[in-house]
Structure 1
């Protein structure tokens, strides 16, 4: 078993400010590697390693698949890549998204828990929805430590609150106190290992902790494959056969978005139908086909009225539940 723990930090919206405070307060001789997963735009290059390297004393770079972890280094998940901890090594993967995210915090934390056992310290920062909850549950199950940013301080408290509802945190802290607690936890772990190292055997060849799988009647919003429901303690997850994984909240959000898109696609199709009927009516009139032109005009008016009513009802309904619709 490694003499030093590994720190895994996850965050999303609003997490950068907290992460900068943490990195700035870490000491130059911090002995544990730090693996960082922040949700990012897959189509834009990330300058986060440069930002973090300037913010504090520890060097930061995007992780490379197969590289060994070194203490005192910050390893960031690259855009559109899952980052897994495989013992002493880091592995990149382009497997399906979890919670509609790649990289996913849960993927990284779960892999660290599966291959590093109780030497993992998981930290969850600000963010929307609940990525990270399942990963922290896995860390807890393997005996690791958990720190969560105080939801009252987080710019977006959904992720911290979700985790605190389902796992026991060893610390609920403002971001200004997380670096100090990490120093203490790493020092305590190292001291215990020097006095009485314990051999542990954590077997999880597929880097995944899943229990109580049950079939489910929903289909995957991303690929329409069959979805299976998993229960991990109090954490409920859904996964399709292709590998897309959702929490209850992200599945609901995905299904809402799918419904909204399909409804507005119907409105868009009706708009196109009206334009074509109107064009055909004009063309028939120009060709002296008065009966056909009148028929097209009547159908145009009926379709236009239907489109107006449907659009009005959708705007009222979607507005009443706080959803945005795609531009049409």
Structure 2
């Protein structure tokens, strides 16, 4: 299919609390809906991959897991599968295992960027309920390349962070409660197609290539070393973006918004504290055993030193427990 003949495309991104909103939206679409619908919901690599089956039960349109190389056709819903991004390229689907973005694969930002690059003014990006801010940067690219931004009303969302973050980046987005989104999307895709795309800059093309797994970060192509490490691979991060939206990528290609990076760092700290706590408790247990054995052998000095070491370890473990509790009290997601 020639790129100029590609159908209109609606990309929908959701996370926590977004599946019910997504079901409401899809259930309200007419059977003759004039656009293809591409859906990304955050899922772990080990998820059972039955989301398309679940959504198909209430949607008048056929819903199926996205398959690499499948043509993009109006009136069909393609759902990202666990462990793979979902992209559009010249009228076909791409389902690569590119680097994670904002800690997710599939992620919403790569989908929206591919829509901006390959659908231009015929792209509609939709952000539904979710935590943190995946989708905000990609939605900005959709608008910058002539497409339309739609956001679920944060007051209507089970988790308002993703819609709120999207509105910070695209304050002019069309906002509706989930129950009103299907009618809005139907009206948007009924408009005459312009079949045009604004010239994409090298940054957008680069990031879509990275999502496909085809390019690694070259020598500081779009930013300077940030002095931070990637929570996914511990490699150095490079600042990308502009004064409106600062983001980070490592050389492998993992990408982070500032908010998602903060959450990723919190996760690293929590894991490190868990490891430290386990090591200290195991150290205390070992030295209690040494003390007991030394008592049986009449080695009172060795027993006393072992008990002191065990007590020191337990004291340190209590400090670590307090740190873990403080992390949980200030929870991120």
Residue 96 (structure 1) aligned to one of 88, 96, 99 = 99
| Structure 2 residue aligned with 1:224 | 234
**Structure 1 length normalisation: TM-score?**
0.89
| Structure 2 residue aligned with 1:179 | 182
C-alpha deviation, 1:233, in angstroms: 5.8
| Distance in 1 between residues matched to 2:182 and 2:244, nearest whole Å | 29
C-alpha deviation, 1:230, in angstroms: 1.1
Residue 32 (structure 2) aligned to one of 12, 18, 29 = 29
Contact kept? 2:273, 2:324, Cα under 8 Å: no
Q: Closer, same or farther in 2 for the Cα pair 1:92/1:322, shift >3 Å?
A: closer
Contact kept? 2:120, 2:196, Cα under 8 Å: no
C-alpha deviation, 1:41, in angstroms: 3.1
Contact kept? 2:119, 2:197, Cα under 8 Å: no
Q: Closer, same or farther in 2 for the Cα pair 1:313/1:279, shift >3 Å?
A: same
What's the CA shift string for 1:115-161, capped at 9, x where partnerless? 22221111111110000001101101111011111111111110011
| Structure 2 residue aligned with 1:237 | 247
What's the CA shift string for 1:60-119, capped at 9, x where partnerless? 000100111111000000011111111201011111210101100001110111122221
Aligned counterparts, 1:225-304, within 5 A: 225-232=235-242, 234-304=244-314
| Distance in 2 between residues matched to 1:200 and 1:237, nearest whole Å | 23
Q: Closer, same or farther in 2 for the Cα pair 1:56/1:264, shift >3 Å?
A: closer
| Distance in 1 between residues matched to 2:313 and 2:69, nearest whole Å | 59
Contact kept? 1:25, 1:56, Cα under 8 Å: yes
| Structure 1 residue aligned with 2:142 | 139
Larger radius of gyration: 1
| Distance in 2 between residues matched to 1:304 and 1:201, nearest whole Å | 62
| Distance in 1 between residues matched to 2:48 and 2:56, nearest whole Å | 16
Aligned counterparts, 1:92-171, within 5 A: 92-171=95-174
| Distance in 1 between residues matched to 2:331 and 2:24, nearest whole Å | 34
- How many residues align? The count is 318
| Distance in 2 between residues matched to 1:238 and 1:111, nearest whole Å | 19
| Distance in 1 between residues matched to 2:332 and 2:126, nearest whole Å | 31
| Structure 2 residue aligned with 1:85 | 88
Query: Any unmatched runs of 5+ in structure 2?
Result: 211-220
| Structure 2 residue aligned with 1:314 | 323
Contact kept? 1:138, 1:209, Cα under 8 Å: no
Q: Closer, same or farther in 2 for the Cα pair 1:217/1:18, shift >3 Å?
A: same
| Distance in 1 between residues matched to 2:328 and 2:102, nearest whole Å | 25
Query: Any unmatched runs of 5+ in structure 1?
Result: none
C-alpha deviation, 1:206, in angstroms: 4.1
| Distance in 2 between residues matched to 1:178 and 1:170, nearest whole Å | 13
C-alpha deviation, 1:218, in angstroms: 0.5
Contact kept? 2:284, 2:310, Cα under 8 Å: yes
* CA root-mean-square deviation: 2.3
Q: Closer, same or farther in 2 for the Cα pair 1:300/1:202, shift >3 Å?
A: closer
| Structure 1 residue aligned with 2:214 | none
C-alpha deviation, 1:259, in angstroms: 1.4
Indicate yes or no: 2:208 matched with 1:208: yes
* Secondary structure, counterpart of 2:228 in structure 1: strand
**Structure 2 length normalisation: TM-score?**
0.88
C-alpha deviation, 1:267, in angstroms: 2.1
Contact kept? 1:9, 1:125, Cα under 8 Å: yes
